[in-house]
Structures are given as structure tokens and as C-alpha cells.
Amino acid sequence: MRQLCMPQGLSSDELSKLETLICSARSVQRGEALYRSGDRFDSIYAVRSGSMKTLMAHRDGREQVTGLRLAGEALGLDGISEDVHACSAVALEDSTVCIVPYGALKRLCREISSMQERMHKLLGAQIVREAAQMMMLGSLSADERVASFLLDVSERNAQRGYSSAEFNLRMTREDMGSYLGMTLETVSRTLSKFQKRGLIDTQGKHIRIVDLPGLRQV
Amino acid sequence: MRQLCMPQGLSSDELSKLETLICSARSVQRGEALYRSGDRFDSIYAVRSGSMKTLMAHRDGREQVTGLRLAGEALGLDGISEDVHACSAVALEDSTVCIVPYGALKRLCREISSMQERMHKLLGAQIVREAAQMMMLGSLSADERVASFLLDVSERNAQRGYSSAEFNLRMTREDMGSYLGMTLETVSRTLSKFQKRGLIDTQGKHIRIVDLPGLRQV
DNA sequence: CGTAAGGTTGATAGGACTCAATTTTAGTGG
DNA sequence: CCACTAAAATTGAGTCCTATCAACCTTACG
């Protein structure tokens, strides 16, 4: 957990302070919401096991997947600006999260400058990730989006010490489509096409990347 | 400037500390870059006058507009996570910006908890805005995107005390298209269509919103 | 005032969506 | 543990929206 939540730049003394702060964990069943858009914000979270999706709704009620969080990644930053969550977070499989009370975290950030640094970088990294996602939605074709998404998940798996070539994506095709700005049918067709071309090997939610360079230059 | 940069929750004592921090301003000519992707990050900025766009590049060099900043809005947060700017910021017209050195700002955030609060909310708001933009790109039609963009600019103008019904958009149709994930031709056609329907009145970059409710339900 | 950049509009083509029919997977309960 | 069933995934056919290519007009800057 230490690596996962707040990896770098903390002394072990500081780490123990952090650990007093992470006062609790919580398990979330598949399909259950950790928080919903409109809920009061009082904690941020780190996915300890499993995976989650974040959703945002239009005025008309249509929901779109705005993010995927794998084990070790942070969740809940969407509530900071308004003290109310802007997104909902739903478990893609039975999962557990660490709960980090925001008030206590703020205090710690004031006491320990390396914690402040971490916090800023966490927020800043989310900003950059989302900007990259905007670029993807704004200027890539369906093929390019799917390839780019697979490569992103692969890379994030690698960073967490798992296989970058083979993984289980717990999202449905509909979730993927919603996240990538296309229909579930197009997602399915694109994955089939990649398989025929020998770029990947899919069996439902299990995905193996066969030709990494090939996928990169889709 | 006081309202613009850091409006709420600061005592006047705190404000004067902030003002010692904003040590300088800078003017940026139309078309000139305030910073470029890859530049070392050491300051955040607030647009004092004029307007700017942010750009991000794909590996292949294609650039996309990822943001529009009007007077009073913050700029440069894309550099926090990696100490290097992820975007470029280019002036849409002759503009001036306040320079806020990040190191000094961090120190101030540790001393004054309301400053820390402001900083977190600034970053959090950017995260939520970008998520909303992702939604727009992922699930709206061309018409809906243009309408949504015009309403967004209108609202931001209102917040800054300018007219919400009439404004000058200094972006080109190409910039707008890039930002909205469509071609400049489609932007132009959509604006013409809105004009024919009596929703707006355009003359080049000058835009007047004639039928606000109508535009909302496009 | 000239000229290049920006904007508009038209015709055509193609990529992704929609609707629909099956097949496959996975979660539930006997 | 296996059968059952609803959810998820695949594939096809036809259509529509938006991109592309092209010509022309307008604006603004030097």
C-alpha cells in the first residue's frame, strides 16, 4: 500500500503519519457506487484491489464513463472544487479502497511539505491525463482510440508491476465505448479487426497484446 | 486583480502577502507563446487582459486546442505534475498575464490554510472542467458541441462581469474546431445554421446570443 | 490598397451509428 | 455443481452525419 498511495519523497516518519490518517478501508461490490455525483465530498480514495469507473451525467440524464481506475490509483478528486462530487464512482468488480479523509490530509500537507508536493502532483497529473483524453476524443479515429486505450491500460499495468501484455479489462464494451466516445458495436468491431490483423488476442474481457509495435502505429 | 486571481476567503493581510508574491506581469503578443510544451515549469499565470489558448501535441506533431482562457482565469497548471509544461499557451490577441512563482506560492499555501484551500480548489476545478469537456467530446453532436461551447463562453463572460449575450471570440474557426473535435467547415456551417434559426447573430468573431433558451435546447 | 489569412458554402464520400438477429458469457438459484 | 437465464458480445445491412476537397468571398493587417 505504501508504494501505491503516496510513493515518493516521504521519510518513514512521514509515512507513519500518513498511515494514521488512512483510518479505514471499504469494500465495494461489483456495480455498487463508492460515491455518487452530488454526494458531499469528504474523502479521497485509493483503489486497493479491483477496479472502478467514474461516470458523469449530462443535464438530460445520459451518463458517460469519464475514467477508469486500477488498483493503486487515486479516486475522488472531482469533489475538491465544490465540496460535492461531480462524478460517480462505480466498482467494475468486487473491490476495496482506502479512505483518506480530506480534512486530515490537508492538515498533513501543511505540516509536511513533501506531502503538499505529492498532493499537488496528484492533482496536476489528473489534469494532464484528462487533457490527453480530450485530445484522444477530439482528434483520433475509432481505431486509434481503441489502440490508444489498450496501450494506456497496458502501460498502467506495467507501472503497477503486472503484465503489460495480458490483462483483464472488467469494463463492458458499452463502458469502453462510452469512455472512448463511440458505440459498443464499433468497439466490438474494432477489437475483432485488431484480432484478425494479429495485433491482439481477445476472449471477452481477457485481452492479450500480441504485436505491441503494430498496435502503436495503428 | 484581487477578485480575479484569488477571490474568496483571504484576509486583507493575506492578500497583501499574495501581492508581494505576484512579482511581475508580462505581455504576450497575439500568436506568441507564453510557454511551450516541454518548457520547465516554474510559475502559474493569471490572464489579466486578453485571452489565450492552450495546445497539446500528439507524438506525430498534430496539435489540438485543449483550452481557452479568458481574462481572470488561471493558466499553467499543466506543468505541476512533471515540472515541465504538458501544453503550450498561445495568445489569441495581445494579452497580459500575472506571473505567480510556484515555489513562493507553495510556501504561502503552507503558511496560510485559506491559500492552500484556494490552490486545491483551483486544481480541482480544472479537473472538473476537463471532465465536462471530455463528456462533450464523447457524446454530443456537432450542433450540441457548438451550442454548449457558446453557452460556456457566455457564462464565463457573465462571471467576469461582462456581457453574457455578446462577445468577441478571438479564436479562429479552426481553433474552435480543434477544441470541439470537428473541422473548421463544420463549425462555420453550424454557426450559419444557428444564425438562420435565429439563435445567434455572428459577424466573423463577434457573436451575439439572440435566443438563449433556444440555444440551450439544441 | 494589396494580399494573405480567415471564413463561407457546395458537392461528394466515407466512417461510425442505428437497428436487428444471433451467439456467447457469466451470474443466479436449484 | 450444473443448469438456466439475463446480460454482454458479435456480426450484418443500411443510413446519416461529418470529413474532405474545392471554389469563392471577406476581413484585417502591413
Q: How far is the CA of B182 from the C1' of C15 (A)?
A: 14
Residue numbers 49-88 of A with CB closer than 7 A to any atom of strand C = none
pLDDT (mean) for A147-157: 97
Return the pLDDT at B23. Answer: 67
Q: Tell me the per-residue pLDDT of A89-109, one tens digit each, with 9 for 90 and over.
A: 999 999 999 999 999 999 999
C-alpha cell at B42: 516554474
Gap from B60 CA to C30 C1', Å: 58
Protein-to-nucleotide distance from the CA of A168 to the C1' of D9, whole angstroms: 16
Cβ <8 Å between B120 and A127? no
* CA distances in angstroms from B132 to A163, B64, B88, listed in the order given: 32, 17, 21
Nucleic strand D contacts from chain A, 176-195, CB < 7 Å: 184-185, 187-189, 191-192
Q: What is the pLDDT of residue A59?
A: 85
Please write the tens of the pLDDT for every residue from B174-208.
Answer: 999 999 999 999 999 999 999 999 999 999 999 99
Please determine, for residue A124, whether its predicted confidence score (pLDDT) is greater than 60: yes
pLDDT beyond 90 at A8:
no
What pLDDT score does A60 carry? 84
Residue B198 to chain A, least CA–CA distance (Å): 24
Q: For residue B185, say whether its CB is under 7 Å from any atom of strand C.
A: yes
Q: How far apart are CA B207 and CA A183, in angstroms?
A: 34
The pLDDT assigned to A42 comes to: 95
Q: In this structure, what C-alpha cell is assigned to residue B10?
A: 483571504
pLDDT at A2: 44
A97 membership: H or E segment, kind and range: strand A95-101
The pLDDT confidence band at residue A61, using thresholds 50, 70 and 90, is confident
Where b means 16+ CB within 10 Å and e means fewer, A49-78 reads: ebbbbbbbbeeeeebbbbbbbbbbbbbbbb
Does pLDDT of A13 surpass 90?
no
Give the closest residue to B211 by CA, choosing from B202, B203, B197. B197
Report the pLDDT value the prediction gives residue B38, as an integer from 0 to 100: 96
Contact A66, B131 (CB under 8 A): yes
Task: Answer whether any strand C atom is within 7 A of the Cβ of B192.
Answer: yes
Extract the residue ranges of chain B whose pLDDT is less than 50.
1-4, 6-9
pTM: 0.93
Place A1 in a pLDDT band, splitting at 50, 70 and 90.
Answer: very low
The C-alpha atoms of residue B85 and residue B75 are separated, in whole angstroms, by 11
